[in-house]
């Protein structure tokens, strides 16, 4: 029997993470998705990864664009996380962003970002793993604090006791 899904969620919910918005560009169209299944994978070569659910529209956009930016959110960007976690087209027109080297939108209010080209796509059950090689990046607002996700809810560093 497969392991219980609800219990897996509960257990892994105890793994506290930051929150990112992964963005990309296909032609003139911009896309983004809130993601916390991300990690820094390798330093030489410089690789990161993001796991994308098979039914997410973002999956096809990433397959087409072959690039993405990973925007690490500050605790002041919880509304941005909520916006990019909704299914369907995402609005960028009211956001302060600039195009990264790959053309993917970088959210200027983010803590930090990396801009990547997809070098591999691995299959992982109901997700695909997009491995990206970092071509650019920076710490945009290093004095801000990160937005956290823990046990199914947003947290801030100061709220954790």
Ligand X SMILES: Cc1cc2nc3c(=O)[nH]c(=O)nc-3n(C[C@H](O)[C@H](O)[C@H](O)COP(=O)(O)O)c2cc1C
Among residues 58 and 107, whose Cβ is nearest to ligand X?
58
Q: What's the min distance (Å) between Cβ of 122 and ligand X?
A: 14
Q: What's the min distance (Å) between Cβ of 19 and ligand X?
A: 5
Q: Which uninterrupted H or E stretch holds 7?
A: helix 5-12
For residue 22, whether the previous peptide bond is cis, meaning omega lies within 30 degrees of 0, is: no
Among residues 85 and 140, whose Cβ is nearest to ligand X?
85
Among residues 93 and 143, whose Cβ is nearest to ligand X?
93
Cα(158)–Cα(18) distance, integer angstroms: 14
**Tokens 């003139």 sit at which residue?**
28
Q: Which pair of structure tokens corresponds to residue 37?
A: 């299944």
Q: What's the min distance (Å) between Cβ of 142 and ligand X?
A: 22
Report which residue's Cβ sits closest to ligand X.
Answer: 37
* Positions that interact with ligand X (CB under 6 A): 19, 33-37, 51-53, 56-58, 81, 85-88, 149
Does residue 154 sit in helix, strand or coil? strand
């Amino acid at each position: 029997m497969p392991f219980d899904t609800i219990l897996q969620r509960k257990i892994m919910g105890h793994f506290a993470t930051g929150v990112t918005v992964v963005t990309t560009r296909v032609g003139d169209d911009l896309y983004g998705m809130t993601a916390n299944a991300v990690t820094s994978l390798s330093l030489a070569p410089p690789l990161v990864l993001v796991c994308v659910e098979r039914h997410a529209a973002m999956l096809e956009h990433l397959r087409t664009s072959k690039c993405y930016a990973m925007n690490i959110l500050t605790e002041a960007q919880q509304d941005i996380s909520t916006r990019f976690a909704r299914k369907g087209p995402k609005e960028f027109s009211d956001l302060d962003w600039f195009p990264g080297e790959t053309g993917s939108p970088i959210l200027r209010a983010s803590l930090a970002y990396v801009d990547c080209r997809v070098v591999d796509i691995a299959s992982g059950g109901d997700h695909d793993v997009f491995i990206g090689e970092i071509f650019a990046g920076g710490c945009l607002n290093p004095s801000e604090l990160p937005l956290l996700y823990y046990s199914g809810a947003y947290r801030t560093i100061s709220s954790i006791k």
